[in-house]
A = this chain, B = another copy of it.
Amino acid sequence: MRMTRLFLRTLRDDPADAEVPSHKLLVRAGYVRRVAPGVYSWLPLGLKVLAKVERIIREEMDEIGAQEVRFPALLPREPYEATNRWTEYGPNLFRLKDRKGNDMLLGPTHEEMFTLLVKDLYSSYKDLPLSLYQIQTKYRDEARPRAGILRGREFIMKDSYSFDVDDAGLEAAYQAHRAAYVRIFDRLGFEYVIVKADSGAMGGSASEEFLAVSPTGEDTFVRSPGGYSANVEAVTTVAPDPVPYDGIPAAHAEQTPDTPTIDSLVDHLNAAFPRDDRSWEAGDTLKNVLVILRHPDGTREPLAIGLPGDREVDAKRLETQVAPAEVEPFEQKDFAAHPGLVKGYIGPGALGSESTTGIRYLTDPRIVDGTRWVTGADVQGSHVIDLVAGRDFTSDGTIEAAEVRAGDPAPDGSGPLELARGIEMGHIFQLGRKYAEVLDLKVLDQNGKLVTVTMGSYGVGVSRAVAAVAEYAHDESGLVWPRELAPFDVHLIVAGKDETVVAGAEQVYADLVGEGFDVLFDDRLGKVSPGVKFKDAELIGVPTIVVVGKGFVDGVVEVKDRSTGERRDVPLVDLVTALRD
Spell out A's residues near B (CB within 8 Å): 5-9, 30, 33, 35-36, 39-44, 47, 50, 65, 67-76, 91-92, 94-96, 98-99, 102, 104, 106, 113, 117, 120-122, 130, 132, 137, 139, 141, 143, 153-154
**Are B154 and A73 closer than 8 Å at their CB atoms?**
yes
Q: Which residue of B lies closest to A70 (CB)?
A: B42
Contacts of A120 in B (CB 8 A): 33
Report the minimal beta-carbon distance from A158 to chain B, rounded to whole angstroms: 14
Q: Which residue of B lies closest to A131 (CB)?
A: B7
**Are A96 and B95 closer than 8 Å at their CB atoms?**
yes
- How distant is the Cα of A39 from the Cα of B74 in the complex, in angstroms? 7
Q: Which 5 A-B pairs have the closest CB atoms?
A: A96-B96, A91-B99, A42-B70, A9-B121, A36-B76
- How distant is the Cα of A73 from the Cα of B122 in the complex, in angstroms? 33
- How distant is the Cα of A289 from the Cα of B67 in the complex, in angstroms? 56
Q: Which residue of B lies closest to A41 (CB)?
A: B71
**Can you report 12 residue pairs joining A to B where beta carbons are below 8 Å apart?**
A5-B67, A8-B121, A33-B121, A36-B75, A39-B74, A39-B75, A40-B72, A41-B72, A73-B154, A74-B153, A94-B96, A96-B106
Report the minimal beta-carbon distance from A521 to chain B, rounded to whole angstroms: 14
A72, A121, A154 pick with most chain B CB within 10 angstroms: A72
Contacts of A104 in B (CB 8 A): 36
- How distant is the Cα of A50 from the Cα of B35 in the complex, in angstroms? 28
Q: A41-B69, A41-B117 are in contact. List 4 more A-B contacts (CB 8 A).
A: A9-B122, A42-B71, A47-B70, A94-B96
- How distant is the Cα of A291 from the Cα of B33 in the complex, in angstroms? 46
Report the minimal beta-carbon distance from A312 to chain B, rounded to whole angstroms: 27
Contacts of A33 in B (CB 8 A): 117, 120-121
- How distant is the Cα of A166 from the Cα of B5 in the complex, in angstroms? 18
**Are B113 and A7 closer than 8 Å at their CB atoms?**
no
- How distant is the Cα of A470 from the Cα of B226 in the complex, in angstroms? 60
Main secondary structure of the interface of A (DSSP, over half): mixed
Q: Which residue of B lies closest to A43 (CB)?
A: B69
- How distant is the Cα of A389 from the Cα of B306 in the complex, in angstroms? 91
- How distant is the Cα of A98 from the Cα of B153 in the complex, in angstroms? 10
Contacts of A47 in B (CB 8 A): 68-70
Q: Which residue of B lies closest to A95 (CB)?
A: B96
**Are B71 and A44 closer than 8 Å at their CB atoms?**
no
Report the minimal beta-carbon distance from A138 to chain B, rounded to whole angstroms: 11
Q: Which residue of B lies closest to A106 (CB)?
A: B74
Report the minimal beta-carbon distance from A339 to chain B, rounded to whole angstroms: 34
**Are B7 and A69 closer than 8 Å at their CB atoms?**
yes
Contacts of A139 in B (CB 8 A): 74
Given contacts A7-B132, A42-B69, A68-B44, contact A76 B35 (CB under 8 A): yes
Given contacts A91-B99, A99-B141, contact A44 B72 (CB under 8 A): no
Contacts of A95 in B (CB 8 A): 96
**Are B44 and A69 closer than 8 Å at their CB atoms?**
yes
Given contacts A98-B94, A143-B99, contact A35 B68 (CB under 8 A): no
Report the minimal beta-carbon distance from A488 to chain B, rounded to whole angstroms: 14
- How distant is the Cα of A65 from the Cα of B2 in the complex, in angstroms? 11
A6, A47, A50, A98 pick with most chain B CB within 10 angstroms: A98
A5, A44, A50, A70 pick with most chain B CB within 10 angstroms: A70
Q: Which residue of B lies closest to A1 (CB)?
A: B67
**Are B67 and A44 closer than 8 Å at their CB atoms?**
yes
- How distant is the Cα of A113 from the Cα of B137 in the complex, in angstroms? 18
Report the minimal beta-carbon distance from A97 to chain B, rounded to whole angstroms: 8
- How distant is the Cα of A38 from the Cα of B418 in the complex, in angstroms? 52
Contacts of A132 in B (CB 8 A): 7
**Are A72 and B143 closer than 8 Å at their CB atoms?**
no
Q: Which residue of B lies closest to A139 (CB)?
A: B74
Contacts of A102 in B (CB 8 A): 36
Contacts of A71 in B (CB 8 A): 35, 41-42
- How distant is the Cα of A72 from the Cα of B137 in the complex, in angstroms? 9
Report the minimal beta-carbon distance from A162 to chain B, rounded to whole angstroms: 12
**Are B76 and A7 closer than 8 Å at their CB atoms?**
no
**Are B65 and A5 closer than 8 Å at their CB atoms?**
yes
Q: Which residue of B lies closest to A71 (CB)?
A: B41
- How distant is the Cα of A95 from the Cα of B102 in the complex, in angstroms? 13
- How distant is the Cα of A147 from the Cα of B65 in the complex, in angstroms? 32
**Are A154 and B74 closer than 8 Å at their CB atoms?**
yes
Contacts of A98 in B (CB 8 A): 94, 141, 153
**Are A41 and B70 closer than 8 Å at their CB atoms?**
yes
Report the minimal beta-carbon distance from A379 to chain B, rounded to whole angstroms: 41
- How distant is the Cα of A75 from the Cα of B39 in the complex, in angstroms? 8
Report the minimal beta-carbon distance from A3 to chain B, rounded to whole angstroms: 12
**Are A72 and B7 closer than 8 Å at their CB atoms?**
no
Report the minimal beta-carbon distance from A236 to chain B, rounded to whole angstroms: 32
Report the minimal beta-carbon distance from A131 to chain B, rounded to whole angstroms: 9
Report the minimal beta-carbon distance from A171 to chain B, rounded to whole angstroms: 20
Report the minimal beta-carbon distance from A399 to chain B, rounded to whole angstroms: 27
Report the minimal beta-carbon distance from A213 to chain B, rounded to whole angstroms: 29
A73, A132, A143 pick with most chain B CB within 10 angstroms: A73
Q: Which residue of B lies closest to A110 (CB)?
A: B41
Contacts of A8 in B (CB 8 A): 121
Q: Which residue of B lies closest to A143 (CB)?
A: B99
**Are B141 and A72 closer than 8 Å at their CB atoms?**
no
**Are A113 and B69 closer than 8 Å at their CB atoms?**
no
- How distant is the Cα of A50 from the Cα of B40 in the complex, in angstroms? 25
Report the minimal beta-carbon distance from A18 to chain B, rounded to whole angstroms: 16
